Amino acid sequence: MAKAASRREVVRRLRRLGFDGPFPGGRHEVMVRGRLKLFLPNPHGGELSTGLVTRLLKEAGVSEEEWEQAE
């Protein structure tokens, strides 16, 4: 299971996995890979919870193994 992570860490790993951004996208910033748009939560400090990181990975189509290797 993915662990809680800072927003900065999530962005860094997603970039290593081929995403571009984050770009402004209205209420939330967006990271893009091909036609896929992944909306990121607003940066309020602190960490993104384990559940939220897991949901982002599922939306992005990223396996837990890929996520761990992007460290």
What are 22-53's pLDDT values in tens digits?
A: 999 888 899 999 999 999 987 677 788 899 99
pTM, 2 dp: 0.90
User: What's the CATH architecture for 5-69?
Assistant: 2-Layer Sandwich (3.30)
pLDDT of the residue at 43: 66
Cα–Cα dist 65/41, whole Å: 23
Q: Specify the pairing of strand 47-48 against strand 36-40.
A: unpaired
7-16 and 50-60 are packed helices; what angle lies between their axes, rounded to 10 degrees? 20
Alpha helical stretches, state H, the chain: 7-16, 50-60, 64-69
pLDDT of the residue at 62: 95
Average pLDDT along the chain: 91
Cα–Cα dist 30/12, whole Å: 14
